[in-house]
């Protein structure tokens, strides 16, 4: 089937009224969550996960995806107006976005970030359309050894690149893998770590884990945060219009940012946040006058916003074509498909073409909806930023519990969420990241299965992982990343020590 036919099929699937509605609901909620600082797309997607049990798989994944890329659109609003990033990927937008707001150019900044987001999003979707079939071809040649090696690479880069301490990140991945083994083992039918509790035989529920780790602990952490800044300025359509110079200065940064974002988004472990930081750094380095950055340079907002939206789209490449998510958010998407009995992988494109291409076309539709939501309706989002958190969180908490309950109509799951919530809060106090844990949890059963199969095929010879070239290279890259992150962690701790000594000497 050629690409055009596929896209037509996708269009047909995405234009069904039900799918359109869920797409709109997803991007709307994504913008809402993105606008609010403190709640990220991960928490929002976990919140919606229970609903996906009750709707058909295409609608479910279209909606969840909409929340994810919608949050990248909305996230810049709080960065610009309050100097608080709406999501992690919008942190770098604060650097020049907030100074622009102080100069009375908040409207222009909001307009340009939306346009940059659209440019980045569309570039990402194009990359998705062009590269997915190629990756599928490669994926079809993968055996269990290659899958295992790819998961090792994904987990190592996800746990070491983004976090400060590689050992802590990896410990969280292993903890997640271990939690993934809870429940009945598919091969032997033996329940593991069930402690004699019937409900535990099905394993720990993804919804409960995600809600406990992200929802509950984020709420506990945010209640006492003071957000006393009120936004008083009016954002009018007139104030949003960029000057000719703004448009000209942003054009190339958007292209560069979109390229950088598309590339890093598709790699496991790096994602929208890292892509936006790199895009900003590149702009600063290539600028004629780098001192303008941090003082309201428009390139400093358009490049990272293009990058994070491009990355949000290309992150779907490994998830959909290989079935290997590169981040915790993508892992939840994968989980949502598995709930419906759909196993993403190289066969998804040929076995479920309406779902695969429908999802991709829905990205295009969703991006256009987001522009409409973010430019004419910006006033609504600004007023949402003024709702105090103490009114929002009790409602969010109740919805979390209603959602968890609705999965099995069972209050046992609520107690599980409470327990996981305490663990999640303890983890945040001790500065252990929850995202690698969730990634490990979802990949755990897949990893065990592929490891078992690979060793069964090789009759117990571990050499199979290095004798097969693709698997060997994946593992070499994984170990290079590991070695590099250990080295840089070691170097930075040495540097801290020298600084401390110097201070003690002069102190």
Partner 1 sequence: MQNRDIRDLLGGIALIALGLFAAIHAQQYEIGELRRMGPGYFPTALGILLAILGVFIAIPALFREGTRIKIEWKSLFWVMLSIVVFAVFLDRLGLVITSISTVLASSMASDLTWRGRFILSGSVAVITYVIFGFGLGMLIPIWPWSP
Of 50 and 271, nearer to partner 1 (C-beta) is 50
By the 8 A CB rule, do 241 and 112 touch? no
* Contact criterion met (CB below 8 Å) for 182 and 477: no
**Cα four-point dihedral sign 46, 48, 51, 57:** negative
- The owner of tokens 């479910």 is 60
Contacts of partner 1 in 37-56 (CB under 8 A):
54
In whole angstroms, give the CA distance from residue 176 to residue 322: 21
Q: Evaluate the CA torsion angle 493, 499, 505, 507 in order and state its sign.
A: negative
Q: In angstroms, what is the C-alpha Rg of the chain?
A: 23
Tell me, residue by residue from 248 to 277, as one string, x for binding to partner 1 by CB under 8 A and - for no binding.
------------------------------
Q: Quick check: 504 binds partner 1 (CB under 8 A)?
A: no
- What's the CA angle centered on 305, arms 303 and 309, to 5 degrees? 120
Q: Which of residues 400-459 bind partner 1 (CB under 8 A)?
A: 401-402, 405-406, 409, 411, 414-415, 417-418, 421-422, 425, 427, 429-432, 448, 451-452, 455-456, 459
Check binding of 354 to partner 1 (CB under 8 A): no
Stretch that binds partner 1, among 65-73, 136-144, 164-172, 307-315 (CB under 8 A): 164-172
Any idea what the Cα angle at residue 143 is, between residues 142 and 144, rounded to 5°? 125
Residues touching partner 1: how many (CB under 8 A)? 60
Q: 328: exposed, middle or buried (C-beta count within 10 Å: 0-12, 13-18, 19+)?
A: buried
Does 397 contact partner 1 by CB under 8 A?
yes
Reading phi first (left if > 0) and then psi (alpha if -120 to 50, else beta), residue 241 is in beta
**Nearest-approach distance from CB 89 to partner 1, in angstroms:** 26
Span near partner 1 by CB under 8 A; candidates 103-111, 149-157, 165-173, 197-205: 165-173
The residue within the footprint of partner 1, chosen from 178, 287, 354, 466 (CB under 8 A), is: 178
Contacts of 258 (CB under 8 A, 6+ apart): 119, 120, 123, 124, 306, 307, 309, 310
The sign one gets for the Cα dihedral 364, 115, 90, 257 is: positive
CB closer to partner 1 out of 288 and 459: 459
Query: Please, what is the minimum distance in Å from the beta carbon of residue 206 to partner 1?
Result: 18
Closest distance between partner 1 and the C-beta of residue 491, in Å? Answer: 14
The contact set with partner 1 (CB under 8 A) reads: 54, 165, 167-168, 170-171, 174-175, 177-178, 181, 185, 187-188, 190, 192-193, 216, 219-221, 223-224, 389-391, 393-395, 397-399, 401-402, 405-406, 409, 411, 414-415, 417-418, 421-422, 425, 427, 429-432, 448, 451-452, 455-456, 459-460, 462, 493, 500
């Amino acid at each position: 089937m050629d690409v055009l036919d596929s896209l037509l099929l996708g269009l047909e699937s995405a234009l069904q009224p039900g799918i359109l509605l869920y797409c709109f609901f997803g991007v709307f909620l994504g913008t809402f969550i993105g606008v609010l600082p403190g709640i990220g797309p991960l928490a929002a997607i976990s919140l919606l996960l229970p609903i996906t049990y009750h709707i058909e798989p295409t609608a479910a994944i279209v909606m969840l995806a909409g929340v994810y890329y919608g949050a990248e659109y909305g996230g810049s609003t709080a960065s610009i107006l309050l100097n608080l990033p709406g999501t992690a990927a919008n942190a770098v937008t604060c650097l020049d976005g907030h100074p622009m707001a102080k100069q009375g150019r908040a409207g222009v900044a909001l307009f340009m970030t939306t346009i940059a987001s659209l440019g980045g999003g569309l570039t990402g979707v194009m990359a998705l359309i062009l590269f997915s079939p190629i990756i599928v071809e490669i994926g079809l040649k993968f055996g269990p050894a290659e899958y295992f090696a790819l998961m090792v690479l994904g987990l190592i880069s996800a746990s070491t690149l983004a976090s400060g301490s590689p050992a802590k990140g990896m410990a969280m991945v292993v903890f997640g893998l271990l939690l993934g083994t809870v429940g009945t083992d598919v091969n032997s039918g033996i329940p593991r770590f069930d402690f004699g509790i019937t409900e535990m035989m099905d394993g720990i529920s993804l919804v409960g884990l995600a809600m406990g780790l992200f929802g509950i602990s984020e709420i506990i952490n945010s209640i006492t945060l003071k957000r006393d800044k009120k936004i008083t300025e009016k954002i009018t359509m007139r104030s949003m219009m960029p000057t000719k110079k703004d448009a000209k200065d942003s054009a190339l940064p958007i292209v560069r940012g979109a390229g950088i974002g598309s590339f890093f988004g598709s790699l496991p472990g790096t994602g929208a946040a890292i892509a936006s930081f790199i895009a900003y750094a590149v702009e600063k380095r290539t600028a004629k006058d780098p001192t303008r950055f941090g003082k309201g340079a428009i390139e400093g907002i358009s490049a990272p916003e293009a990058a994070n939206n491009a990355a949000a789209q290309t992150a779907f490449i490994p998830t959909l074509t290989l079935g290997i998510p590169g981040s915790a958010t993508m892992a939840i998407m994968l989980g949502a498909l598995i709930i419906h009995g759909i196993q993403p992988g190289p066969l998804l494109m040929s076995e479920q073409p309406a779902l695969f291409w429908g999802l991709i076309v829905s990205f295009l539709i969703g991006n256009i909806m987001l522009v409409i939501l973010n430019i004419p309706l910006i006033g609504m989002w600004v007023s949402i930023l003024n709702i105090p958190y103490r009114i929002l969180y009790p409602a969010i908490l109740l919805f979390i519990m209603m959602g968890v309950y609705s999965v099995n109509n069972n209050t046992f799951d609520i107690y599980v969420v409470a327990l996981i919530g305490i663990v999640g809060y303890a983890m945040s106090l001790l500065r252990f990241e929850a995202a690698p844990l969730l990634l490990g949890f979802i990949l755990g059963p897949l990893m065990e299965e592929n490891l078992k199969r690979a060793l069964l095929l090789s009759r117990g010879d571990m050499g199979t992982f290095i004798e097969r070239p693709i698997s060997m290279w994946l593992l070499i890259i994984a170990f290079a990343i590991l070695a590099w992150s250990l080295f840089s962690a070691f170097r930075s701790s040495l540097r801290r020590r020298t600084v401390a000594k110097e201070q003690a000497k002069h102190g």
